[in-house]
Structure 1
Amino acid sequence: MLKMAVLLSGSGRTLDNFHDRSRNGSMAGVIEVVIANVPTALGLDKAERYGYPAFHADDSETTNRILARYDIDVVCLAGYLKLYTPPPQLARSVVNIHPSLIPSFCGPGYYGHHVHQAVKDRGCTVSGCTVHFADERYDEGPIILQRCVALDDQDSIDDIAARVFAVECEAFPEAINLVDARGVEYFWRRVGK
């Protein structure tokens, strides 16, 4: 069972998913602490209602001081819209989800609806999500798993976003289960990093 820190910037929809799956036993992870880089993030309110320690931290240094108080196996970026620099002991243990099939539509500037707009503008017939380990560059760490969704020409940006988020809700907990079963280093060795 992985001990998780959840970093977020917004509404906490992924936190809701993690909370439900941790409680029902379908995810091999338990949330130890929640940190937001936005002081008014709704996700902080949700974390407090769920009973998790919840903090605001503007930067990686402050976040890492908070994390030092907890026994953490993985840091999960759950809609965290800032480049995070972990402490050395967690450098290979930061897990992120991206709303496209990496290496397409990723890197600086590709987040949220920007990704879905680019997918639509390109005329893609599929999209999806990628759960991966994060490193010092946006969206370049080892991939844990990917899930695909079919698209229709008539799909709006919101339709694409909703379809992708639905598979994200399955993929992120499944990735946590894979990391728990195989270990962090398995994924880094698999890509030779």
Structure 2
Amino acid sequence: MINLGILISGRGSNMDAILAGVKSGIIPNVRPCVVVSNKPDAAGLDTASKKYGVPTKVVLPDDLKGWDYDKKLAAALEDSGVTPQDGLVCLAGFMRIISPEFVRHYKMRILNIHPALLPSFPGLHAQRQAVDYGVKVSGCTVHFVDDGVDLGPVILQKTVHVMDGDTEETLAARILEKEHEAYPEAVKLFAQGRLKVEGRKVRIL
């Protein structure tokens, strides 16, 4: 059984998709243990507790940065049973850069989703970057988290055609639909032990 911790900063729509997958049985062998936010007013906290009955915690930054903050985050996760041995940490709109120490602590047990086909358009406003660049296809990427920003080994990608009249907002809405498919699928594969990392490549067994 995998003990799941989800980190959010806002509405947590990808968190919602993952927890719905667990509740319906689509994602097996996963126990949602805690949803943690760095913001006390994150709407996803209510969703987690009221809709799914998942415990929630708020870990305020208090001007702490890097590992000084992240060790508080790790303590909150581990106190809820999400350990480096049997835990999985999913970033679902968590608007902080995870420190290298946190990444090493949960080595290859942190997943993130990005609204572009990595390695294209990393960082913020990926959908705007795609529209401005004029690409014909974009999408989303679920990847393991490493020390870089949006650089970890790719697990899954789903594509979306970019229309001539697309804006950042219209493209983001269509990509989000694919995110809600891809993230639960990746969590399921992890929980089933079907992901094998070989260098930069992730093989699905």
Q: TM-score, normalised by structure 2?
A: 0.84
Matched, 1:101 2:117: yes
Question: What is the rounded CA distance, in whole Å, between the counterparts of 1:191 and 1:134 in structure 2?
Answer: 12
CA drift of 1:35 comes to 0.3
Q: Distance in 2 between matches of 1:149 and 1:87?
A: 30
- Residue 22 of structure 1 is matched in structure 2 by 22
Please report how far the alpha carbon of residue 39 of structure 1 lies from its aligned counterpart in structure 2 after TM superposition. 1.7
Matches within 5 A, 1:74-153: 74-85=88-99, 86=102, 88-106=104-122, 110-111=123-124, 114-153=125-164
Equivalent pairs counted in the alignment come to: 186
Q: Residue 58 of structure 2 corresponds to which residue in structure 1?
A: 56
> What TM-score comes out, normalization by structure 1 length?
0.89
TM-superposed deviation, 1:2:
2.6
CA apart distance, 1:30:
2.9
CA offset at residue 152 of structure 1? 0.8
One-letter amino acid matched to 1:123: G
Question: Is the Cα contact below 8 Å between 2:6 and 2:36 reproduced in 1?
Answer: yes
Partners of 1:64 and 1:87 within 8 A in 2: no
Shift of 1:127: 0.5
> Where does residue 172 of structure 1 map in the other structure?
183
CA-to-aligned-CA distance 1:135-185 (integer Å, 9 cap, x gap) = 12111111111111111111121110011000000000111112123356x
Give the gaps of 5 or more residues in structure 2.
62-68
Q: After the TM superposition, which segments of 4 or more aligned residues of structure 1 sit over 4 Å from their partners?
A: none
Change (3 A) 1:117 1:5: same
Q: What is the rounded CA distance, in whole Å, between the counterparts of 1:190 and 1:146 in structure 2?
A: 18
Answer whether contact 2:152 2:200 (CA < 8 A) is retained.
no
Cα 1:192–1:132 change in 2 (3 A) is closer
Q: Identity, % of aligned pairs?
A: 34
